[in-house]
Copies of this chain bind each other. A is one copy, B any other.
Amino acid sequence: MAKVQPRTLSGFMELLPPRQIQFDRMMEIIRRSFSLYGFTPLDTPLIEASEVLLAKGGGETEKQIYRFTKGDSDLSLRFDLTVPLAKYVSLNYAKLAFPFRRFQIGKVYRGERAQRGRFREFYQADIDVIGDGQLDISNDAEIPAIIYRTFTSLGLNRFQIRVNNRKVLNGFYAMLGLTAQAGAIMRTVDKLEKIGEKSVRELLTAPDIGLTDEQAAEILKFIAIKGRNAGVLAALEGYRGRDPKFDEGLDELSAVAKNLTAFGVPETHFVLDLTIARGLDYYTGTVYETAMLDHPEIGSICSGGRYDNLAEYYTDKQLPGVGISIGLTRLFFVLEDQGYLNDDLNTAPADVLILPMTGDMGPAIQLATYLRDRSLQVQIYGEQKKFKQKMSYADKLGVPYVVLLGEDEIKQGKYALKDMRSGEQKLLATEEVFREISTHAGAGGGAKPILDKGE
């Protein structure tokens, strides 16, 4: 028969079993972490009517969208989880309780240029809190706490959540009479880390933006405000009273910073950073980015912010919200690439492999059923192979335990349990097998999927 060459499309992540188990464990930890904060899971379709999905229209994203027709329907694959959320909330408005807190972990699609570490199909893990008409600032304060718990639960330590407020920025530019140029200025200032202060100053005073030297100096002085959060807030207080938007933003930023300790987030992992701007036409208040401290080149691994109106394309209801998103597939790629994945994690599909040595499968099945009833993962190896091949299979799977079940053992009603790490072998009764495995096999399973050598 003529064969078709099997392949997986480029830009689509497909993992081997041990890595898949690590990925799934990360997803599970994220899911559990989000759930602790009272978010409800959603699962919206991958496909939406193009008219609905692209209601906002235009923009860079549209070119990347997977769009096609089926019958006479014009369909598109979702490119993020925010537009489906806007649709869902508009559609089910009367049936939801507000604030509506939802998380969604799902695949999204963007036809990006193929390139190492860029994915066309990738998981996003999003949380959003949507208010009906209004939404208290305390929600903005909780988001960094959720991300802090999520990342530390995964085993990541050397990261920093950076927070700013768009009203502070816009208010500041209004003070200088530069509201019209604010967008261009922020895009330029955003390059500070990459191109340095001198180049930023040149761009700001070049004809395109056209600031005076004094204005450029004011801006550079402002964004140079750094240090501990209390110091940053104090410096910002010096600008109070000159623009109402600025004052409002400063109040919000202070409120977000205030309760961090109560939320259990140390200041090492949360900084006020006036250079963060993000999504210029979408976010309206608090904005978040998250950096890996030892890999700034990777950019933000988790970003989001406050928006005034989630669903203006679908409904007249004013639905303000705040949310954040982890680009999970890219994060996993980066973690593997940088050696952050914990290879001590038990990624075997079973806690124990039972090797029957006689033709009678009965005793093997009885033991397996006993252990499974007690939540252990058990595989019976039923193939007629030589002992060496059976053991080599156990090695290949990486199972922590093997049970050998020959005639002697069956006669005695016992099991030979071999610890594959130590090589030690013991003759045990059923309950002892359970006790031994459940005490020790869990050790790897409970480990964190990320091993961050930093503190």
Residues of A participating in the B interface, judged by any CB pair closer than 8 Å: 1, 3-9, 12-17, 20-21, 23-24, 35-49, 51-52, 55, 66-71, 73, 75, 86-88, 90-92, 95-99, 101-102, 107, 109, 111, 121, 131, 134-139, 141-142, 145, 149, 259, 262-264, 311-316, 349-350, 353, 361-362, 365-366, 369, 372-373, 375-384, 393, 396-397
Contact = CB atoms under 8 A, between A and B. Distances in A.
A262 B20 CA distance: 32
A378 B36 contact: yes
30 contacts: A1-B313, A4-B55, A6-B88, A6-B311, A8-B44, A8-B87, A8-B91, A9-B45, A14-B44, A16-B92, A16-B95, A17-B42, A35-B377, A38-B378, A38-B379, A46-B121, A47-B109, A66-B68, A68-B68, A68-B69, A99-B381, A101-B379, A131-B383, A136-B382, A138-B380, A142-B380, A145-B369, A259-B361, A262-B365, A264-B373
A259 B382 CA distance: 13
Contact of A6 (B3, B90, B97, B382): B90
Contacts of A312: 1
Number of copies of this protein chain within its complex: 2
B38 A353 contact: yes
B46 A46 contact: yes
B262 A366 contact: yes
Contacts of A131: 383
A12 B47 contact: yes
A109 B47 CA distance: 10
Contacts of A102: 17
Contacts of A366: 262
Given A6-B311, A14-B45, A36-B378, 5 more contacts: A9-B73, A98-B393, A136-B383, A138-B380, A259-B365
Contacts of A138: 361, 380, 382
A159 to B, nearest CB: 19
A114 to B, nearest CB: 10
